Structure 1
Amino acid sequence: MTDMPAVGQSVRRSDARAKVTGEALYAVDHAIPDMLHGAVVRSTRAHATIEDIEKDAAQTVAGVVGVVTAADLGDLFPRFGHLIADHPILAIDKVNYMGEPVALVLGETLHAAHDGADALYVRYSDLPVMADMDTALAPEATLIHPTSYPKGDVAFEEAITEPRNDNVAHEASLEWGDVEAAMADAAVVVETSVKYPKLYAYAMEPYNALATVNEEGVDVTTTAQHPFMVRDDLARIFSLPLSKVRVRSPLLGGGYGSKSYTKLEPLASVGSWYSGRPVKVALSAEEAIYTTRADSANITVRSGFDEEGHILARHFEIRMDTGAYTDNGTLVLAKCVNRCFGPYNVPNLRAHGIAVFTNTVASSSYRGFGAPQGNLAGELNMDQAAQQLGIDPLELRKKNVLPPGGTVIAGKRGLDADLSADLDIVTDKLGWDGDSPDLSGIGFGISASDAGAYPVSTAQVRVLIDGSVLVMTGATEMGQGSKTALAQIAAHELGVALDQVQIVQSDTGSTPYERTTGASRTTVLVGLAVQRACQDAIRKLEEMAAETFDVALTDVKTADGVVVSPGTGEWPYANVLQSWFGARSGEVTGVGLVRASGELAMLPPFWEVGVSGVEVSVDPDTGKVTVEHLVTVGDVGFAINPTLVEGQDLGAAMQGLGAALYEELIYDGGQLENPNLVDYRVPHANDMPLAIDNVVVERGDGVGPYGAKGAGEGPLNPIGGAVASAVGRAIGRWPEELPLTAQRVWELMQDEAE
């Protein structure tokens, strides 16, 4: 390992030039000769049986090659889903949300396909619409899923093995102690109810997939965050071994969880299977909004405190709207339950939640994965408790926050962070003194998420005959900078120049297995796999050198990209390889494997903590909230690339501000009212806070390379609660619902004035 480390340095992203010059290739840039284009016909009803699909008019449109419906899928398995295979490729007999794919029209050109889609007629018979959780949970509610479905590939998730009798998709709970007895002994009991909105994880690149299905198997180029998981679904659909399914994910134009798991790939694949030609399906931004979203939530929390402000008990009741299909919603609920009560000493806890099917777009992963919803309730409750107890909210948090190594959940890894110190950083930067002028307020919050990053990763490091290096990994580059960070780790371990390292990613046909790219796991777990693969390659190079030079293996060392042994001097890797192989040919491959053993045996592999704060001002005439100052702490253990960490933290915080102030998918009776980026308001450049402090904290307390922990989600999780608290202090009334749009805040101000 070189003494001049490549890690810990803010080197420029390896893909920066290609992206800013437009040279970078994304999935949508790929094309195949004789390729067809697919246009999706979507349901115009939120809940209805399909009485008839009339193809004739569509099939006579010039350039239309064919129309695919569920009835055309023959012996193919017609559904997908990694937890429960309940999501139809194309609607089977009924539709469960407005925008659900009903047919795929194939055309020689995209225009022809869309013209054919416009000509297709679907006749429906409407069913009662369960557009919200209250309606879906009513005793007389119509069942959205009256049938059973097969299990996905996740062993710890229960399958739906018999017909349902309600619209509850999943139930999760966590409990210890005696909550009711502790509440009875409390000096103060504080109850808080909040509503968190439905969100669309806007990525600049919409979903698209290009598929070829023939006698050799299935080959798909797509926008998937988890190509190996997509491979599993496609293998099941076509009854193929995994070896005959290839999924490639080139550079992604953002993901944020919305491109997790299988989305568009089955549509393109069945189109190719049906037509015998390659098929590309590329969605518009509006169509992408009909593909997936984040869970909305209604949460009530009661917390009991003693007179000094120590938490005695907390009780959370959570309802999450998971939409029409399971996707990843059940795991989001489970994580919300684990993350809602905060990194506090809670001697008595009950956290219970249900995920509810509704006739809306299916929810899936979204940055933060249940933590933002639960944290809004938990942290706003802490601020309201501080007010009732007459204690400074910073003091109340520090009085209850767990110390480093503290037990968040029994049986899980201890807290690997110093949150009290991190809180001090945020409040010092904000100038917190407990007071604020009228129509101005400061809010801050903390969170700890048990990273949903199961430790299974593999990597290969190939040292080539000229001494340059190829790093092979199944992790996906979606803008977070993993290509650069992983290259830095490899360069540091091998002692070679960074420009000698090339990263090859996300191809199930050539790169080693990687279950997912998400949950802030890449730097920690894939980084460990790369580190171990480098060490394996070095061991093999040293063995080659010992054999070639006829010296003891113990006398051979590697440093700064050369192999050193007594009497032979320094040999660059290229010379060792050429001498051992006897020609300018050959290479050595190191393999790195990561599994739940040793230091990674106890889960989670790390706690992703979030400590963020804001100062806001409120316009008295309009209610518009302006974020004057944003502070985030990136408690990452060790920053492989500090600039990448800062970028991830700022991006996460801005996404959190979107949910806090602007973003919400609005439904009216099952109809999505704002399925476009005009009416669905994401943060703009002029919404950036006037002052920003991104503080990177390095204490070397992670299990990843050089003490690294995950980054990229933590600062988002407390932002909603921090903004709600800041606005509450500014206007004198605690908000209960996000986003805090100008209209909503203005109405709160009028209520307070009355």
Structure 2
Amino acid sequence: MNEPGRGDGRSIIGRSLERQDARDKVTGRARYTVDLAVPGMIEGKVLRSPYPHARIMSIDTSKAARHPGVLAVLTGADLTDIDPYFGQAVRDQPVLAIERVRFAGEPVVAVAAVDALSAEEALRRVSVEYAPLPVIRTIDEALMPTAPQLHVDRPRSTLFPDVQDIKPDVTRNICHHFAFRRGDAARAFAQADLVFDDTFTLPSVHHFPLEPLGAIAHHQGGELTVWTGTQYPFAMRQALAEMFGLPQSRVRIVVPYVGGAFGCRELIPAAPIASVLSRRCGVPVRVVFSSEETARTSSRNAGRVRIETAVMKDGTLVGRRAEIHLDTGAYTDQGSRVSKKAGYRVVGPYRIPHVEVNSYAVFTNTVSAGSYRGFGTPEVCWAYESQMDIIAARLGMDPLELRMKNLLKRNEEYAQGDRPIDSDLDLALETIAKEVGWHVTRESGEGAGLACAVKDGGGTRTSSTAIVRLHQDGSATVLASSAEIGQGVQSVLGQIAAAELALDPARVSVTAPDTGVTPFDQRTNASRATSLLGHAVQEAASRVAEQVRAIAGEALGVSAEACRLENGGVIANGQRLTFGQVIQRFFRDAGGELIGHGYQRPATGLNALGATASFWEIGLGAAVVSVDRETGAITLHRYVSLSDPGRAINPAGVEGQDLGGAMQGLGPALFEAMVYDDGQLVNGSMIDYRLPLFSDLPPSFDALIIEGGGGPGPHGAKGVAEGSIITVAPALANAVFAATGVRLRDLPMTPERVWRALRDAESASPKKGTGR
């Protein structure tokens, strides 16, 4: 078989082609979960807890059940004939609260009725008696010896192979403790010339996808079909199959267009709620959360990162200690896995031989923390890249010089047993510094800041499968199960297949995930689709191309190697057969199609996370700002993001993802925060929660791409889209320091926070910024 990547249509790789979903989305033809209507469908609604922590004393649903149009009313006590718990790492979250509620907004009662209004009216007729319990609002309160214990130890999830080593201490409200060691940190710190010890904090934030969470479920005759915009269709199939005691072959997850994800669309809680209601009613049930309910379903964790770095006088980093506490909220969700990644990644893109890290996920009575773009890396990068400039200032070094001195080189080991670094970080840093005019003398009051990050990409031990079908009219279909969440994955996968088959990409269609039709893919996350699923698609298309060459060679009397694919046909010795003619020859005019399968299996190496990185995703950011000393307002004049996609299959797609990530990063850096008052989320609506606007963008907002190859994907491709969000906050903070001499350690950097820092600095010992 020809080696993948030797297709004859490779000229389309690296071209910015029109996205497959573009016209549907701009014309309004795209249909999302909220737009779907299944015959016989009724509506489900949820009554949520008004208390952040309380014991459920009684629930009276009798009046609701008698309300006209109501077909079912369910509580947690009604789910004893199934396993009513779900969760990505630990099955600790009930579909509907059982005996106790652990956050304000937790689902307590679900109602199904003929229409949404009847369901809402029925909910108002439910009576719930609560006995309030002490509320854990913060990490510090959770760790107090007198804090109430929020959980008992629950079974691990079976969804991911890396969750069996979770180490909870539920008596202390610790969801997981991850420890990472190498070298002799104590000795390194004892022998260092300088030790830097800084603490940085950040609040919880919400994803706020444009489309709220929702699902339609139809449970009938021992089969369950769910329509929902999930990033994890096969994981959701497995979770629901286990919940209802069904074989996976009897559970089908259909994924329509998805209106944004950013990590909040994994095991969507609306799906099991709709499923239990449909099981009771016997008809399809739709449950769609409001935007406010979605904000009370998933978040990015709040956190505190204490970071100590041992440094020699010449700027060499010799040791690092870190103590990380992440607020994972009421349930485990992804908290344990995020804490592992944060602990592993706090070393950053630097050569630090001696490391000692303790990373904790901690339970509180707040909204559960799941995945969020960057998966633990923005939290720790905020700390280590801010501290790099603190070190540079103390040593009197240029922050760029300090980073260049310590950056890992290509093919250098990040940690024992892991994949070597596969990007030229030094080239990337030099490129972005030049682009932002690092050495340019700036106007008074302006400052520039840099930040670098690296993360193990592709997820831990993930696999993908793809099928490519070549039809007798010369068109092709790619069957793959990566959700189109706005990143353009369907277009890129089609482009990869078209290159192998030498087809016009417009003649290649890529299916949406449907576990009853499309083959297995682990999940849509970790910047993995283009590189890992793309590899499977390329392999599948290459196998089809090999069949075409073999059949054509036999028909034309030449070897398969002599056959060249071109523009939907095969050419050899001056003769040409169309793909349709090739298929007719093979099937003797009976009609048919050629099919190829492709696989991506995880790497076999082991590291502290349980498996080696599939690739390394880098992210660099550079900012130029000025600060109004009277108001504390930060004005962003320029921002530059840089990524290395290995090989950009569709450069416009890469640029769009990088700019989107950088824009999203402006929110947590400058103004985003979930605000709680005694456990109650007070800014859960898009009216009260401040999101980045186009008016927040600087006059100059750019994304740079360097193609360093070295990835496991087609033509050396690697994943992007997360790296650009990671460095925004520290790049801005470093620019503020350069402009004012004031170091900010708490996010977001609101005008009030900046103004107070300026006043404090002036009252202590006024400093001028470096003006870099």
Which TM-score band (shorter chain)?
A: over 0.9
Distance 2:605 2:480 in 1: 22
Q: Among 689, 695, 698, which residue is 2:707 paired with?
A: 698
TM-fit CA distance, 1:561: 3.1
Counterpart residue number, 1:743: 752
Whether the 8 Å contact between 1:324 and 1:359 is mirrored in structure 2 is yes
Report the equivalent of 2:509: 502
Match of 2:350 in 1: 344
Structure 2 residue 521 is the aligned partner of structure 1 residue 514: yes
Structure 1 residue runs of 5 or longer lacking an equivalent are none
Q: Distance in 2 between matches of 1:112 and 1:33?
A: 19
Distance 1:540-1:597 versus aligned 2 partners, 3 A rule: farther
Give the Å deviation of 1:550.
Answer: 6.0
- Percent identity of equivalent pairs: 38
Amino acid corresponding to residue 522 of structure 2 in structure 1: R
Partner of 1:98: 104
Residues 594-614 of structure 1: per-residue CA shift (max 9 Å, x gap): 113599998211101011111
| Residue 381 (structure 2) aligned to one of 368, 372, 375 | 375
**Closer/same/farther in 2, CA of residues 162 and 597 from structure 1, 3 Å limit:** closer
Counterpart of 2:686?
677
**SS at 1:19 equivalent:** helix
> 1:314 maps to which residue?
320
CA contact (8 A) 2:9 2:500 kept: no
CA distance, structure 2, for counterparts of residue 681 and residue 597 of structure 1: 41
Aligned length: 753
Structure 2 residue aligned with 1:440: 446
Contact map agreement 1:637 1:702 (CA 8 A) in 2: yes
Inter-partner Cα distance in structure 1 for 2:10 and 2:559: 28
Mapped to 1, the partners of 2:359 and 2:176 lie a distance apart of 8
- 1:244 aligns with 250
2:330 alignment partner, one of 299, 324, 329: 324
Q: Distance in 2 between matches of 1:508 and 1:321?
A: 34
Measured against aligned partners, the alpha-carbon deviations of 1:187-231 in whole angstroms (never above 9, x if no partner) come to: 111111100220101210110100000114000000111111100
Whole-angstrom CA distance in 2 between matches of 1:90 and 1:731: 51
Check the 8 A contact 1:344/1:400 in 2, yes or no.
yes
Amino acid paired to 1:619: D
Rounded to whole Å, the distance in 2 between the matches of 1:6 and 1:701 is 20
**Contact map agreement 1:465 1:584 (CA 8 A) in 2:** no
The amino acid of 1:738's aligned partner reads L
1:689 counterpart letter in structure 2: P
- Tell me the distance in 1 between the aligned counterparts of 2:53 and 2:759: 39
Measure how far apart 1:555 and its partner are: 4.9
1:730 Cα deviation (Å)?
Answer: 2.4
Q: Find the counterpart in structure 2 of residue 611 from structure 1.
A: 620
Q: Tell me if 1:458 matches 2:465.
A: yes
Question: How does 1:238-277 map onto structure 2 within 5 Å?
Answer: 238-277=244-283
2:665 maps to 1:659:
no
**Given the alignment, which residue of 24, 27, 38 partners 2:33?**
27
Which of these residues, 51, 54, 59, is aligned with residue 53 of structure 1?
Answer: 59
Residue 155 of structure 1: which of 150, 161, 164 is its match?
Answer: 161
Counterpart residue identity of residue 735, structure 1: L
Q: 1:62 aligns with which of 65, 68, 89?
A: 68
Please say if 1:477 is aligned against 2:474: no
**Equivalent position of 1:203 in the other structure:** 209
Deviations 1:22-73 (A, max 9, x none): 0111111111122111111101111111111111232333322221111112
Aligned to 1:294: 300
CA, structure 1 residues 51+163, in 2 after alignment: closer, same or farther (shift >3 Å)? Answer: farther
The partner residue of 1:733 within 739, 742, 753 is: 742
Cα deviations by residue, 1:706-744 (Å, 9 ceiling, x for unpaired): 111111011111111111111223232111100111111
After superposition, give the CA deviation of every residue in 1:508-529 in whole Å (9 maximum; x if it has no partner): 0000000100100000011111
Deviation of 1:542 after TM superposition, in Å, equals 2.7
405 and 168 in structure 1: CA distance in 2 versus 1, 3 angstrom threshold: same
Partner of 1:634: 643
What is residue 719 of structure 1 aligned with on the other side? 728
Quote the Cα distance in structure 2 between the aligned partners of 1:351 and 1:697: 32
Deviation string for 1:6-31 (max 9, x for gaps)? Answer: 22111111111110110111111111
Q: How does 1:388-403 map to 2 (within 5 A)?
A: 388-403=394-409
> C-alpha displacement at 1:551, in angstroms?
5.3
One-letter code of the match for 1:394?
A: L
Could you say which residue in structure 1 is the equivalent of 2:187?
A: 181
In structure 2, the CA distance between the partners of 1:438 and 1:179, relative to structure 1 (3 Å rule), is farther
Q: Are residues 1:468 and 2:496 paired? A: no
Instruction: Letter of the 1:133 partner, please give it.
Output: I
Q: CA deviation at 1:559?
A: 4.2
* Whole-angstrom distance in 2 between the partners of 1:703 and 1:65: 52
The 10-residue stretch of structure 1 (144-153 or 184-193) with the greater mean CA deviation from structure 2: 144-153
Q: Which amino acid aligns with 1:521?
A: R
The normalised TM-score by structure 1 is: 0.97
* Matching of residue 646 in structure 1 with residue 655 in structure 2: yes
Partner in structure 1 of residue 423 of structure 2: 417
2:342 corresponds to which letter in structure 1? C
Report SS of the residue matched to 1:699.
Answer: coil
Answer with 297-306 or 693-702: which moved more. 693-702
| Residue 545 of structure 1 pairs with residue 552 of structure 2 | yes
Residue type at the aligned position of 2:322? F
Q: Are 2:150 and 2:170, in contact at CA under 8 Å, matched by a contact in 1?
A: no
Which segment is superposed worse, 255-264 or 677-686?
255-264
Q: Any conservation in 2 of the 1:63–1:112 contact (CA below 8 Å)?
A: yes
Partner of 2:595: 589
CA contact (8 A) 1:610 1:717 kept: yes
Gap runs ≥5 in structure 2:
1-6, 764-772
Which whole-Å CA distance do the structure 2 matches of 1:426 and 1:526 have between them?
30
- The answer for the alignment partner of 1:77 in structure 2 is 83
Deviation at 1:137, TM superposition (A): 0.6
Q: Are 2:626 and 1:620 aligned?
A: no
Aligned positions of 1:115-126 closer than 5 A:
115-126=121-132
The question of whether the paired residues in 2 share the 8 Å contact of 1:537 and 1:590 is answered with yes
Q: Are residue 526 (structure 1) and residue 533 (structure 2) matched?
A: yes
Query: Could you say what secondary structure the match of 1:715 adopts?
Result: helix
CA distance in 2, matches of 1:649, 1:554: 40
What amino acid is the match of 2:617?
E
Q: For residues 475-498 of structure 1, what are the alpha-carbon distances to aligned partners after superposition, in whole Å with 9 as ceiling and x for unaligned?
A: 110100011111111111100111
| Map of 1:710 onto structure 2 | 719
Q: Is the 8 A contact 1:224 1:261 kept in 2?
A: yes
SS in 1 for 2:12: coil
Partner of 1:15: 21
Q: Is the 8 A contact 1:80 1:262 kept in 2?
A: no
